[in-house]
Amino acid sequence: MGVIVNQDQIGNYLVFLFSPSVILNLIQGLEQKIISLDPVPEASVAADFRYGMTEECIITNMNYLEQLTHKESERQKNTLNLIASENYPSPKTLQLLGSVWNDKYAEGYPGKRYYAGNVFSDELEEFVGKKALEVFDSTGEYGVNVQVLSGSPANAMVYFTVLEPGDTVLSLNLASGGHLSHLHATSSYLKFFKYTNYSLMSKKHGLAIDEVDFKNKLKETKPRLVILGFSSYPRKYEFAKLCKLAHEAGALVLADISHIAGLVVTDLHDSPFKSNGEGADFVVTTTHKTLRGPRSALIFAKNEYMSALNKTIFPGTSGGPHLNQIAAVGQSLLEITGEDVYPDKIDFKQYMQNVLQNTSSLETGLIEVDQEVVAATQNHLCLVKLPEKCDSLDVQTLLEKVGIITNRNAVPNDDRSPWRPSGLRLGMAALTSRGILPEQARELGVAVGSLISGDTTEGAVAGFTKDMSSQLKWYF
């Protein structure tokens, strides 16, 4: 069995045996190692699932923030991450995020900066913008801004570019899978804009956009902007049909593809980048979900709107861009085009196909143990409606206790509070990056579902988590 040691203990034991110089060398050598306890028996794992660590299991010459970062790395490594909006960017991407690009201010745009020293900043921004268009747009009708910091601000940039106070926005209802930034009852944007929602309808496979309701809302509310996008909708969008309907009603269209961007760029989902009225006027995506990049975003717009959009971003609302983010986004785009590779060397389209297969397998496992899936998945996430007796916050906490990381989520027509909604949202993009196989995903679904229903023990699932996480790849 291992022992817990610290510098004082080492000194006390060795001072009687060796000279001071030998003792110092031994201590300095041990300070570079992590010394931990042997694993605790399975029966007690669930009672204190510590992600493979103890408080003493740290490198003693780390400061507090370094220790926290080390612990977070161990937490991620030793748990099974089912959060649909998270992923693991490549080490090269993370390296660029913490590179010297962080040091530089670059207010303005390439060729017109307000600071000196931006010769390479210009090259960087132009290169990443070119790669973004290469990856996403085959029409030649769109431009891109790579300076926006993340997804919600990206949506705001579109609002401030095309909306006037009092204009109406039509978006998917939050409880039906819409996103907080798409306007809702407590949104701060209501100080400026009005909102209304389109809804879902039940169909053979569970859910679909209610096109009749969509058309009626267009006619009744006359929105200036229609948002097509979601954060917890497991089905596909038909962008061409919905864009055409919106345009015929006189509205502009923003497609928020933050969750499905990886599917869109690999032709595994319909694309909003289309010519004429079948394409969205604006497209926003984050870069850290299925694109497997850093926490950042991209905004695309039809060429006629790019000048106004750029002015909204700078100088309208923002200062200097985060060049380190832009560089890291560029690296993730290179891994999509095949000019560079993720550590597993799997082609990006194959990766996304694996995500789809693994999500379907996870769902199969859940159904095997009688969990209710809201709608058969067509993308990287599945939505589970919990049994009536279950409190979703308690379920989320229980799963984290045994090392399975999830997030509670509303389901369509949910009558519970957003803090304790009726469902769980589960995604497979992150674990697919770690190399999980379809049969393992099915087993994970069975484990999650069995714990929810009380047909297995916390200790058994904690042991399952420990075993599976140890088998998966970890690149950091």
List the catalytic residue out of 235, 289, 434, 442. 289
Query: Which two structure tokens, joined as six digits, stand for 462?
Result: 């904690």
- Amino acid identity at 134: E
Query: Which position among 125, 137, 256, 363 bears the catalytic label?
Result: 256
Q: Is 286 in the active site? A: yes
Q: Out of 161, 286, 377, 465, which one is annotated catalytic?
A: 286
> Which residue in the list 215, 241, 295, 349 is annotated as catalytic?
295
Given the residues 42, 107, 278, 414, the one annotated as active site: 107
397 is catalytic: no
In the residue annotation, 211 being an active-site residue is answered as no
Structure tokens at 83: 């959060």
Per the residue annotation, which of 50, 56, 105, 457 is the catalytic one?
A: 105
Question: Has 289 been annotated as catalytic?
Answer: yes
Question: Which residues are part of the catalytic machinery?
Answer: 105, 107, 256, 286, 289, 295
